[in-house]
Structure 1
Amino acid sequence: MTSPRQQVAVIGTGMAGLVISYILRNDPRGRFDVQVFEKQDKLSLDSASHTLTDSKTGEKSERLDLPMRAFADGYYESLRRMYDYFGITYGSPRFIYALSTLSNAQADPYFIHSSNNHQLPPLRPNGLSWISWLIEVCYLAVCYYWFTACCFFVTPHTAESAGTEETLRQYVDRIRLPQYYVANYLLPLMSSVTTCSHEALMDFPAVDLVDYERRTFRQKHYTVLGGVHRVQTKLSENLTHTLGAKVTTVENVGTKVQVTWTNIDGQSNSRLFDHVILGVTPDVVGAIFQPLRTAMAAVPTAKVQSVVHRDFSRILNASQSIWKQMSWGSGESAPQPIHMCSKDGATESIHEHPSSALITTYPIAPIDPEKVEYTATFTRVLRSAASRQIVNRIFGRRSADEKSQLWRNGDGNVWLVGGWCWDGMVMLEGCLASATRVANALDVEVPWMKSS
């Protein structure tokens, strides 16, 4: 006899939630009915993005991904395989990173770095003499290759290997990486990836950043052509979802899992499911799922803003200097400068989009409110030595003598997915890895992971 279809609730429609929903809906054996809950009035993967409007015609034009969601070879194997499976096209933008310190109204670069290996030697910032620039380049080359060599040959201490978890702060001290290089190069560049303060970044597990640096060394970076909404469209085909549904509790009731939510009218609803998959941030998990309330409180999160605007006042001089020195062929795409401005232990990134709009992420200096077009706020999950141990315990295998009260992923048919639900940097690849883990546990084939 045919077994009844299992009822699955997926809470959250970010990348991880949509991926696991797609996998289960397309189970070759047709064993799952999937119901997706989203508290917003639209799917959240692309909800923070913005469509520019032409100031003259009033027509909508280009879609801006907020956050950018760039990805690199070497680190995003599963993500690329999924994009290729869906026929999602992506390109390798010519990013120009201008590093500066906000000591006055202008962001005057002290170094300009060209990514994707397309600009050698590096550009010389205006106002910096040839001698000073050559000294800076030589110093940077020595520090960079020393740090790179350490990433490959000096393994960070971890709780598994050494009994204690080494932070980035402890690691750079141990390898004697100069503080000038750390403060002016390593932290500004990496904090733009992690979207957090320098102090929070220094508390990250060293193994996270060393592994990321090693795997992305001399690799190209990509962005989805046409915007990540194309990915959302593919993943949400034939999706059964409830929008405007704020889940308030997830709890085990016998052999089932009960989901309780309120709709946009404030009415409370409950339903029993065979499995519930939480594709939300740790603070939300702790709020709605009691067994993880204490553990999730130890996983740091931060609210981050991305602002679309046209206030060029702070970067005007640096931008003009970059464009004067850049040259590219008729068949090449124009470079995209990203100004990384640091002050008081934090770095904001200002992306000069080809549409002539600016996108400032993690703003640390005022932006003219009259030139602001759009602002998005999202939750960023951070890492720490303590949170790495918590996450690894949740997703690790249970030993035979371990106490039963330690909750593990899948206990009571409740599962976690998300960019933070793996042992690594909180990236889109974690969304794919955690969704694949749940699919494997439920014996469901992941279509893009098939052998070619």
Structure 2
Amino acid sequence: MADSRQQVAVVGTGMAGLVTAYILRNDPRGRFDVQVFEKQDKLSLDSASHTLTDTKSGEKSERLDLPMRAFADGYYLSLRRMYDHFGITYGSPRFIYALSKLANTQASPYFIHSSNNHQVPLLRPNGLSWISWLIEVCYLAVCYYWFTACCFFVTPETVESAGAEETLRQYVDRIRLPQYYVKHYMLPLMSSVTTCSHEALLDFPAVDLVDYERRTFRQKHYTVLGGVHRVQTKLSEGLTHTLGAKVTSVENVGTKVQVSWTDTDGQSSTRLFDHVILGVTPDVVGAIFQPLRSAMAAIPTTTVQSVVHRDFSRIINASKSIWTQMSWGSNQSPPQPIHMCSNDGATESIHEHPSSALITTYPIAPIDPEKVVYTATFTRVLRSAASRQIVNHIFGKSIADEKSHLWRNGDGNVWLVGGWCWDGMVMLEGCLASATRVANALDVEVPW
């Protein structure tokens, strides 16, 4: 009967919120009515993306995913199963990664790497002699395979295994990984994945990075063909949602959970639900849900920008260094260069998109404002030794003092989902893992 159906609120329409809402709405036993709240005027999974307009014709053309949502075999197992279930097609584009130093805002490449080693022979940066380049390649190979071997055979220390959490900084010191390799190769590559400063990355739990490196070793990387909006469309079919609704508080009232929100006109509303699922970042959780205010303050976040623009001045020489050496078959699309430009503390990535636009993520050097097409800003959840313990305790994996009164996932029928809601890198796979956790707790079959 309709009266027996449980009322569920999902706050947030990113990947985790939409996946959880989809699973519960499609419960084979039809036990849930799902209401989704989103503070923006559109669903947020694809809200930061941008449809590029052709400068000559004025017609809208390619959809640019911001940020790029690449995924790899070996790590994104649940995500790939979901894409296959929906018939979402994805491909393995060829990328050229140019590692560069930023000198007076100019990118000066010191190494060029092709994804999946599709380019043979390897590309040599202009201005680097053959002898210097060969020495660099040999040095890099030794360091890379040493680090890879350590990832498989030298287990990072954790609270569970050793009573203390080993950071990435401590781990690379323990395995004696040369600082030159750390500074010029490992940190630029990994901080482009985590979109944070080098210092913040070194504070990550070592187990996160080691597990990611181990599981993605020699695996292909993919992107969704046609953009992530195709995923959003599949997940949101038939969705009951309230847009422009800023949730201001989530409170337990007896056996129910009360959600309060304001609309775009400033009008306040409240409603009682049987379950509330928070698919938002830790800072938002802490702001609206009092039991987690203190715990969420200890989970680091940062603000990240992705800028679509046509300011080629910084990479023009580096780009020429790539294209003058490139070759590809007539039946192949050209590779896509990604310039990873670093200063002493951070790395920005500049993607030469096939649409002839540049996409700079985590910019650290100025971009000509007259050449900026679009800017998206989003919150990135980071990891630390302390936050790993908090997250693991909330989700029942901690060996912490059992007398602790810290809130645990599901207490009072309030649940957390998101890329940060699992013991691993803050990635889309965490969204699927946390959504599946809620489904299992509510005895709902996951369809993929």
TM norm structure 1: 0.97
1:437 aligns with 2:399: no
Residues 205-220 of structure 1: pairs in structure 2 closer than 5 A:
205-220=205-220
**Paired letter, 2:285:** V
Q: Deviations over 1:62-95 (max 9, x none)?
A: 0000000100000000000000000000000101
Where 2:305 maps in the other structure, the secondary structure is strand
In the TM superposition, what is the alpha-carbon distance from 1:344 to its structure 2 partner?
2.7
> 8 Å contact 2:108–2:318 — kept in the other structure?
yes
Match of 2:149 in 1: 149
**Displacement of 1:398:** 8.4
Q: Which residue identity does 1:7 align to in structure 2?
A: Q
For residues 345 and 142 of structure 1, the distance between their equivalents in structure 2, rounded to whole angstroms, comes to 25
Paired with 1:133 and 1:401, the residues of 2 have a C-alpha distance of: 54
Count of residues in correspondence between the two structures: 448
- Output the CA distance in 2 between the equivalents of 1:17 and 1:67: 18
> What is the distance in 2 between the residues matched to 1:401 and 1:106?
52
SS for the counterpart of 1:354 is: coil
Query: Residue 201 of structure 1: CA displacement?
Result: 0.2
- Cα distance in 1 for residues equivalent to 2:318 and 2:111: 11
Q: How far apart, CA to CA, are the structure 1 residues paired with 2:121 and 2:19?
A: 42
Residue aligning to 2:203: 203
> Counterpart of 2:116 in 1: which secondary structure?
coil
For structure 1, which runs of at least 5 residues remain unmatched after alignment?
A: none
Pair 1:148–1:399, CA change in 2 (3 A): closer
Paired position in structure 1 for 2:46: 46
Q: What one-letter code is carried by the residue in structure 2 that aligns with 1:306?
A: S
Partner of 1:352: 352
Other-structure match for 2:140: 140
Distance 1:224 1:255, change over 3 A: same
Equivalences for 1:366-377 in 2 at 5 Å?
366-377=366-377
Cα shift at 1:120: 3.2
Quote the offset at 1:104 in angstroms. 2.5
Preserved contact between residue 392 and residue 398 of structure 2 (Cα < 8 Å)? no
Please name the residue that 1:16 is paired with. 16
CA distance in 1, matches of 2:236, 2:257: 24
Alpha-carbon distance, 1:3 to partner? 7.0
Q: Normalising by structure 2, what TM-score? A: 0.98
CA distance in 2, matches of 1:268, 1:189: 46
For residues 111-158 of structure 1, the C-alpha deviation after alignment (integer angstroms, 9 at most, x for no partner) is 001112312332100000000000000000000000000000000000
Structure-to-structure mapping, 1:321-340, within 5 angstroms: 321-340=321-340
Post-superposition offset of 1:397: 5.7
Quote the Cα distance in structure 1 between the aligned partners of 2:121 and 2:211. 27
**Structure 2 unaligned residues grouped into runs of 5+:** none
- 1:447 counterpart SS class: coil
Q: Deviations over 1:44-70 (max 9, x none)?
A: 000000000011111100000000010
Aligned to 1:388: 388
Identity across matched positions, percent: 90
1:226 is matched with: 226
Contact kept in structure 1, 2:15 and 2:45, CA below 8 Å: yes
- DSSP 3-state at the match of 1:242: strand
Amino acid at match of 1:74: G
User: Structure 1 residue 240 and structure 2 residue 240: aligned?
Assistant: yes
The answer to whether the 8 A contact 2:389-2:398 is kept is: no
**2:391 is aligned with what amino acid?**
V
Q: CA deviation at 1:331?
A: 1.7
Rounded Cα–Cα distance in structure 2 between residues aligned with 1:157 and 1:400: 16
**Secondary structure, aligned partner of 1:341:** strand
3-state SS of the aligned residue for 2:264? Answer: coil
4+ residue runs of structure 1 moved beyond 4 angstroms? Answer: 397-401
What do you get for the CA RMSD once the two structures are aligned? 1.3
Matches of 1:412 and 1:163, distance apart in 2 = 31
Matched, 1:78 2:89: no
- In 1: Cα distance, 2:276 partner to 2:245 partner: 15
Q: Equivalent residue for 2:258?
A: 258
Quote the residue 1:26 is aligned against. 26
- For 1:105 and 1:407, the matched residues in 2 are separated by 47
User: 2 CA distance for matches of 1:124 and 1:399?
Assistant: 50
Aligned pairs for 1:111-190 within 5 A: 111-190=111-190
Question: 1:6-35, CA deviations, whole angstroms, 9 ceiling, x for partnerless residues?
Answer: 000000000000000000000000000000
Per-residue displacement from partner, 1:424-450 (whole Å, max 9, x unpaired)? 0000000000000000000000001xx
Post-superposition CA distance 1:375-409 (Å, at most 9, x none): 00000000000000000000016899833732100
Residue aligning to 1:415:
415
